[in-house]
Amino acid sequence: MKYEDAKNWCHVRSAIRRISKPDKRYYYNHPVPLDERVPAEDKLADDWEEFDPRDHAECSAFNEMPA
């Protein structure tokens, strides 16, 4: 998915990340806009995905209902 699509698809409690860089997450709910936090070279990539912490068992909000 392209950066713009991932940014628009992302839910409030979620983050976006690149598949090739899974440890670097950009959370949507942050005081600084995504466009200012994501490097320009990463914005050109097309391997973006949404990361929802509620889908991962190590998260305290695992299986929590969406807001």
Q: How do the domains of the chain map onto residue ranges?
A: 3-55
pLDDT band at 11 (very low <50, low <70, confident <90, very high): confident
Residue 2 in contact with residue 46, Cβ under 8 Å? Answer: yes
pLDDT at 53: 74
**First vs last C-alpha separation in the chain:** 24
Q: For residue range 13-28, list pLDDT tens digits in order.
A: 889 999 999 999 999 9
Residue 10 burial (CB < 10 Å; 0-12/13-18/19+)?
buried
Prediction pTM value: 0.78
Q: For residue range 33-67, list pLDDT tens digits in order.
A: 999 999 999 999 999 999 887 676 665 555 566 55
Distances (CA, A) of 21 to 25, 31, 47, 64: 8, 23, 9, 26
User: Where does the chain have alpha helices with state H?
Assistant: 3-9, 34-37, 40-43
pLDDT band at 12 (very low <50, low <70, confident <90, very high): confident
